[in-house]
Amino acid sequence: MENKHKIRHQRAILLDAILKEQNGDPLSKRELLAELEKRSGDLLIDKTFNNLVKYVIDTFDAPIERVGKGKATKYVYTSFSDDLFKSKVSKDEVFSLEIAFELLNGLSEFPLSNDLNKLLNKLRETLSFDENQSSEIIQFERSSQVYSKELFLDLFDCIKNQTAIVIDYKGFNFENTIQKIIHPYLLKQFNQRWFLIGYNDKEKRIENLPLDRILKIKPSSLVYSRIDIFDSNLWFDDLFGVTKMGEKQKVILKFDSNRYNYFITKPFLPFKEIKVLENSDVIIEMNGYINREVQAEILSYGKDIEILEPIELRNQTKAILKERIKNY
């Protein structure tokens, strides 16, 4: 059976030809149906005809005008064009595609980006698109790639095909390479680095592994397992970064009033405002997992933030700042 979209398009071409041949003389639905059936060899009902007219108008902006009402309605072209079925992509639509392409360009690991680039170039040529106007209007961050595209795509395939893998892994401070058996669940980007999130079969826990520390992978003989506690839509709630450590904790912070305005545009954990002080400083409460990523983010605010609770995090951060000041 022919593809229904192809059949509809062929009928649209026939309808266009029939209306052009009339040179502005209207035809009734009955007359058009009879001619369409004659040329296509198909038996058409009123609903099919109505949907066809709507398709030609909505998709190709065909200049079809309805004359009269009810059963007396006739159809006529108000203008004629040989370009009706040529690309009707507007410059605004090309610009939207370019934005989408820039997002995908950040995923340079996918060879699909090259195909999209060729498509965009063809569209620009068709529309006489000014390259100078479109360049550098929007620019997205892109990760610096220090791992192979082949590794990324192999991991992608292992997740899609639910294949457990043996990973040769070497951390920054490791003397030797170690092997891990991982049931891979997700590839996640954080802070311009890619991580593999999966279940460590030996340690019985969810683990994250930066791709730039993975040296080699191969299929494991183990049957793939997906544990119930991991749901990619929920796992990162109340988590900043990729490392989930311990239990959720309450964190109370005091922000300088000026930096607080910045913080609320880019909070690193869900929060609620507790109190605004007389000097306009703001105290907030967060609930989430405290990890290295959270601690580094807090430190990035410098003098404009103070940890009030928990006391352990406050003391750890104080010790880090004492060590840091020795460098100056």
The 10 Å Cβ neighbour count of residue 244 is: 19
Angle between helices 91-105 and 112-126 (to 10 degrees): 160
Task: Give the dihedral of Cα atoms 213, 218, 223, 225; nearest 10 deg.
Answer: 20
Sequence-ordered list of residues with C-beta below 8 angstroms from that of 243, at least 6 positions apart, any chain? 208, 289, 291, 292, 293
Question: Is the CATH number of domain 149-219 2.30.30?
Answer: yes
pLDDT of residue 270: 86
**Which amino acid is located at 16 in the chain?**
D
Relative to beta strand 165-169, strand 214-219 is antiparallel
Distance CA 53, CA 75 (A): 10
Instruction: Note the CATH architecture for domain 4-77.
Output: Orthogonal Bundle (1.10)
Cα angle vertex 197, ends 267, 264, to 5°? Answer: 5
The count of C-alpha atoms lying within 13 angstroms of the C-alpha of 99, restricted to the half-sphere facing its C-beta, is 7
Cα–Cα dist 125/118, whole Å:
11
**R_g of the chain computed on alpha carbons:** 31
| Among 23, 29, 43, 10, CA closest to 72 | 29
Q: Would you kindly state where each structural domain of the chain is located, as residue ranges?
A: 4-77, 91-134, 149-219, 249-325
Give residue 315's pLDDT. Answer: 95
User: Which pLDDT does position 85 carry in this prediction?
Assistant: 74
Could you count the other beta carbons within 10 Å of the beta carbon of residue 269? 19
Residue 116, token pair as written in the block: 């999209």
The helix/strand/coil state of 148 is coil
Residues written for the chain: 328
Q: For each successive 10 residues of the chain (328 residues), what is the average pLDDT?
A: 74 90 89 91 87 87 87 88 67 67 62 63 58 57 69 91 95 90 94 91 92 93 90 89 90 92 89 86 92 93 94 94 90
pTM: 0.63
Under 8 Å between Cβ of 238 and 287? yes
Q: Does 3.30.70 match the CATH number of domain 249-325?
A: yes
- Model pLDDT, residue 143: 64
Domain pair 149-219 / 249-325, same fold: no
pLDDT recorded at residue 76: 92
pLDDT at 249: 92
Judged by DSSP in three states, 110 sits in: coil
Q: Is 98 helix (H, G, I), strand (E, B) or coil?
A: helix
Tokens describing residue 108? 């340079």
Tokens 């996918």 belong to which residue? 110
Looking at residue 79, its pLDDT comes to 87
- So what's the pLDDT on residue 233? 85
pLDDT of 68 reads: 87
Beta bridge partners of 184: 198
